[in-house]
Each structure stands twice: as structure tokens, then as C-alpha cells.
Amino acid sequence: KRIADIERAARNLPKGAALIYRHFGAQDSVQTAQKLRDICTQRHIQFLIGADAELAEHIGADGVHLPERDMEQAKFMRAAHPHWIITSAVHSQEVLQRAETLPLDAVILSPVFDSKSPSAGKALGAKVFATWISKINMPVFALGGIDDMSAPELIGSGAAGLAGVSAFARCVRRLDMDDVAGMTVLHQAAFSSAWPASDFESHINKKCDDVLGIGGQDIDGFVIVRTIEGQAEILTLVVATSAQGQGLGAHLLAHAHRAAQVRGANIVFLDVAQDNLAATALYEKAGYQRCGVRPRYYKRVNQQGIQGRVDALLFQKNLT
């Protein structure tokens, strides 16, 4: 089970995307497929069932995605369901060429980049991928090791689009006013001195701030970085409790660094409460070094309602 919460993943896909559900014989496959069908309909997402025409027909899916070994079934499925979207996985140039002769709407070619999938073979690389598909007259989607870091390598390759399993759960995007409510709730759950919604609106509108997040309708985390005259500051970084332990904090931080560098920053600063050990460990692992302290900076209130304060530790990291 590659995605822990596939319904959440479906809700976070952008409009116009497609979702392929492979149930691998799960006992609740019909119920899950129906829920996903409903989500995809509401969000204008095409919904395909992996290698199960019977289930696709039962729940009214938009079509079927076939494994490479069953690619020839496309002929029979097309005859039975002329309006279905039928796609197939391919893993070699020979099979890719064979796919062009079948009544397929598109194929997904993998692995393009190194992948953690246990079934992934040797990565093709962007150049080989582009060469192979340049000789094919059908839409070819790229799969394998695709994320927001590797995807730019496929610009101009001729790929019809990008496919992924867990990758899209980690895609970072710029947040906007539609995300303010979600950001506010997430911040309130993480910090005792949470920011109001108006603060997030201000940061989104401020030209020197980059407000970046992971997730679609449900935000799994976000970071705000400000860059002025060659120096950047991480203003806040939050990851939802349900999404912790997946490396999302480090992923967001790396994107904040990149955004600051694009704006010309060569150094980045931040502060963290002395008792926030998890955040301190994250920043130190990312290469930050202690550069100072603000005594008694953060307020704290214990269970008895007694107020106190803890120091803020100051960190910096060179971006050059």
C-alpha cells in the first residue's frame, strides 16, 4: 500500500488530473473505488481502475489502466467499451513501440528517474526518455522518481504529462488566499501563540515573502520565507501532526532555500524555541548553525495556567 490515505490524496489532486486506483485484491475495493469515484467526479478528475474491467464497469469509472503484461487486452476492452480511457504501463522501447499499434489512449513509461518502488528497474534518464518517445505517435506520460525537483528536467522532452505514486503528496506549491483558513488551523494546532488569519493574508500579499505549502484541499504543511537585500529569514514552518515523520519539514525547508536563492539571498536566518527539540534537530540536520540567543523570548503557559518564558535560539545557514 503505497499511499496511506488515498482519499486524501485524491482530494489534493488538481482539477484536470487523473487518478488510477490499483486495489491489489483488497476486500474493501468496491467501497474504496466508489468513494474515489465520488471525489473525482466532484473535483473533475478522471478516474481509472487498475487492471480490473469488472470493477471499472461496476462503479462507472472513466476507464482502465493495464499493466504491461496485460497490454494486449486493450483490443477487447476497446471493443466492449469504446468510450473508455484505456492506458497501459510500459517499461521498454520494444513494448513502447508495440503499444502504438494497440487501441490505447496513452501509456505510462517508467522508470524515468531513480525510484524507491520495489518494482522499479534501471532509470532511463531524461535524455533516453525523450529519445524513445520522439519516435512514438501517442501520448506518453513519465513515471518513476518524479517530484518537483526532478520534473523540470523533463521540460521540452515531449512528455504528455507526469505520473507518480507518493510524489504528488510531496509537491510544493505557492499558497494563496484560498489556503488561509487551512493555514490558520494548522498553525493554531502547532503553536500556543498562533497567528491570526490576517497575518497569513499579509504574508501572501507581501512581495518579499514566499508562502509555500504541501497538499491541495488539505494542507499537510507550509513554510514562509522572507528575502530582503540578499538575506532571508524563515518566519514559520509547520507540518500537520498526521503528516509528520515523512520528511516533509526538510522538503519544505529545501524549497524555502531555493526560493530565497532565486531572490538573491546568500544567507538565511531563523529562530526556534529552546524547548522545540524536533525543530532544532531538523534545522541542525539541514546545516544550520547556532549564532545567538534571545533570552526569554517565547511565552509558555503550563497546565496550571502559570505563565513562563523560554529562550529563542538563533540559527543561520549559508546558501552559497
Name 259's Cβ contacts closer than 8 Å, sequence gap at least 6: 210, 212, 225, 227
Q: Which has the closest alpha carbon to 236: 221, 246, 247, 248?
A: 221
Is the model's pLDDT at 283 over the cut of 80? yes
My answer on whether omega of the bond before 196 falls inside 30° of 0, hence cis, is no
pLDDT digits (tens, 9 = 90+) for 42-90: 989 999 999 999 999 999 999 999 999 999 999 999 999 999 999 999 9
Examine the fold and report which residue of 144, 168, 192 is the final residue of a domain before the chain moves on: 168
A 10 A CB-CB count for 189 gives: 11
Range of the domain at 271: 172-318
Is the model's pLDDT at 120 over the cut of 70? no
CA–CA gap between residue 272 and residue 236 (Å, rounded) = 9
Residue 106 shares a structural domain with residue 184: no
Q: Is residue 139 part of a domain?
A: yes
pLDDT digits (tens, 9 = 90+) for 203-229: 999 999 999 998 877 789 999 999 999
pLDDT (mean) for 144-173: 85
Is the model's pLDDT at 253 over the cut of 80? yes
Highest mean pLDDT (candidates 1-15, 66-80, 110-124, 207-221): 66-80
Is the model's pLDDT at 2 over the cut of 80? no
Residue 262 shares a structural domain with residue 299: yes
Question: So what's the pLDDT on residue 20?
Answer: 97
Order across the sheet with 140-142: list the strands. 18-21, 46-50, 63-66, 85-90, 106-109, 140-142, 161-162
Q: With bands split at pLDDT 50, 70 and 90, how would you rate the model's confidence at 94?
A: very high
Residue 264 shares a structural domain with residue 163: no
Residue 157 shares a structural domain with residue 256: no
Question: So what's the pLDDT on residue 192?
Answer: 82
Question: So what's the pLDDT on residue 4?
Answer: 66
Residue 154 shares a structural domain with residue 111: yes
Is the backbone of residue 63 left (phi > 0), alpha (psi -120 to 50) or beta? left
Q: What is the DSSP letter of 138?
A: S
Q: Is residue 190 part of a domain?
A: yes
Residue 228 shares a structural domain with residue 177: yes
pLDDT (mean) for 176-197: 93
CA–CA gap between residue 132 and residue 36 (Å, rounded) = 33
How high is the mean pLDDT of the chain?
Answer: 92
Question: So what's the pLDDT on residue 113?
Answer: 94
Q: Is residue 161 part of a domain?
A: yes
Examine the fold and report which residue of 168, 184, 212 is the final residue of a domain before the chain moves on: 168
Is the model's pLDDT at 102 over the cut of 80? yes
Residue 243 contacts residue 195 (beta carbons within 8 Å): no
pLDDT (mean) for 90-115: 96
**Which CATH number goes with the domain that contains 231?**
3.40.630.30
Q: Is residue 1 part of a domain?
A: no
Terminal-to-terminal C-alpha distance of the chain = 40
pLDDT (mean) for 250-257: 95
Residue 257 contacts residue 234 (beta carbons within 8 Å): no
**Which CATH number goes with the domain that contains 148?**
3.20.20.70
CA–CA gap between residue 113 and residue 106 (Å, rounded) = 20
Between residues 145 and 234, the one the model is more confident about? 234
Q: In this predicted structure, which of 35-49, 125-139, 159-173 has the lowest mean pLDDT?
A: 159-173
Q: With bands split at pLDDT 50, 70 and 90, how would you rate the model's confidence at 15?
A: confident
Map residue 242 onto helix, strand or coil: helix
Q: Which residues pair with 307 in a beta bridge?
A: 301
Name 314's Cβ contacts closer than 8 Å, sequence gap at least 6: 269, 270, 271, 290, 291, 292, 293, 294
Question: So what's the pLDDT on residue 149?
Answer: 74
CA–CA gap between residue 205 and residue 176 (Å, rounded) = 9
Question: So what's the pLDDT on residue 221?
Answer: 95
CA atoms within 13 A on the CB side of 7: 10
Q: What is the pTM of this model?
A: 0.68
Residue ranges of alpha helices (H) inside 134-276 are 180-190, 197-205, 248-262
Question: So what's the pLDDT on residue 218?
Answer: 79
pLDDT digits (tens, 9 = 90+) for 165-178: 866 667 788 999 99
How many angstroms from the chain centroid is the CA of residue 121? Answer: 23
Question: So what's the pLDDT on residue 30?
Answer: 97
Strand stretches in 168-306, DSSP E: 172-174, 209-215, 219-228, 231-239, 267-273, 289-301
Residue 49 contacts residue 94 (beta carbons within 8 Å): no
Q: Is residue 164 part of a domain?
A: yes
Residue 187 shares a structural domain with residue 98: no
Domain count, the chain: 2
Residue 162 shares a structural domain with residue 279: no
